[in-house]
Amino acid sequence: MKVVVLCSGRGSNLSALLDAESRGELPDADFRAVLSDQEGAGALEIASKRGIAAITVPVSDFFGDRAGHERAILEALAPFGAELAVLAGFQRVLGRGFLDAFPHGVVNIHPALLPSFPGHMVWSKETAYGVKLAGATVHFVDEGVDSGPIICQGAVPVLETDGPDELSARILKVEHRIFPAAVGWVTSGRVSLSGRTSLLSGFSPGPGEVGACLVWPPLDA
Ligand code: GRF
């Protein structure tokens, strides 16, 4: 399946995807291009070093014109014929016209256990709220903010000594595990939807995993 990846920042989740592909774990994913809405995003350099087309469509050129920015992104991506778009730290909410351009949809990673803590600055909100369990969610994208059907979640404990930085570092590790796994499931056609519930076929759980759920570090039985 032809895949494009959209990023706004450093690109650690992009690296996790490309590393998994290099290890042969994503045999059905063909990463064609990486696009950023931010000039100088680290993700662009990561793509270039791997020989993947790296494109910038700066959001700053489209002030107040979200639809125009989305059209420009679709035009820039058109030559790559992508069937799936993957958002790896892409900080924009997307409209229906954009979402419908990808036959297999758009997938996002969010650093919280949705539907709790959608949006930005989740680690500060989680530590301030006092939650004991945090994590990350891979989900299909709809027109809302982090509100589409969930594909996979990974959970981590929140320690009493955690500030936002400690928590975000722990969550990022689980992001780097569940994101390639979920993208692999989607590209191999193993994810279907029943309403907004995703169904996963042909899955063999690893340590700490129960279906599309990962607890990290693994809980002892
Ligand atoms: C990650 O925390 C991801 O969950 C969120 O944006 C961040 C991107 O980080 N959507 P990176 O650019 O992948 O390192």
pLDDT given at position 200:
86
Where does residue 88 rank: exposed (0-12), middle (13-18), buried (19+ CB within 10 A)?
A: buried
> Distance of CA 190 to CAs 176, 181, 182, 202, Å?
20, 11, 10, 7
CB within 6 Å of ligand 1 — which residues? 7, 9-13, 88-89, 109-111, 175
Task: Name the residue at shortest CA distance from atom 10 of ligand 1.
Answer: 89
User: Which stretches of 78-142 are DSSP H helices?
Assistant: 96-99, 122-129
Atom of ligand 1 nearest to the CA of 87: 10
Task: Name the residue at shortest CA distance from atom 6 of ligand 1.
Answer: 89
The tens digit of pLDDT for each residue in 41-86 reads: 999 999 999 999 999 999 999 999 999 999 999 999 999 999 999 9
Q: What is the four-CA torsion angle of 19, 58, 54, 81, rounded to 10 degrees?
A: 100
Q: Which helix (H) or strand (E) holds 177?
A: helix 164-187
Atom of ligand 1 nearest to the CA of 9: 12
**Cα separation of 145 and 150, whole Å?**
13
| Residue 176, token pair as written in the block | 């780097």
> Distance of CA 168 to CAs 82, 128, 133, 141, 162, Å?
31, 13, 13, 22, 9
**Cα separation of 5 and 198, whole Å?**
22
**Ligand 1 center–CA 204 separation, angstroms:** 27
| Residue 93, token pair as written in the block | 């909410």
**Cα separation of 119 and 74, whole Å?**
24
pLDDT given at position 149:
96
Per-residue pLDDT of the chain (221 residues; tens, 9 = 90+): 999 999 999 999 999 999 999 999 999 999 999 999 999 999 999 999 999 999 999 999 999 999 999 999 999 999 999 999 999 999 999 999 999 999 999 999 999 999 999 999 999 999 999 999 999 999 999 999 999 999 999 999 999 999 999 999 999 999 999 999 999 999 999 999 999 999 888 766 666 666 667 666 655 54
Q: What are phi and psi of 153, to 5 degrees?
A: -135, 150
**Ligand 1 center–CA 89 separation, angstroms:** 4
**Ligand 1 center–CA 192 separation, angstroms:** 25
Whole-model pTM: value is: 0.94
Catalytic residue among 69, 110, 139, 176: 110
Task: Name the residue at shortest CA distance from atom 5 of ligand 1.
Answer: 89
pLDDT given at position 209:
64
At 140 the three-state DSSP class reads strand
> Distance of CA 64 to CAs 20, 59, 69, 72, Å?
37, 9, 9, 14
**Ligand 1 center–CA 170 separation, angstroms:** 13
Is residue 110 among the annotated active site residues? yes
Task: Using most ligand atoms within 8 A of CB, pick from 5, 14, 94, 175 the residue to mutate for ligand 1.
Answer: 175
Question: What domains are defined for the chain?
Answer: 1-104 (3.40.50.170), 109-221 (3.40.50.170)
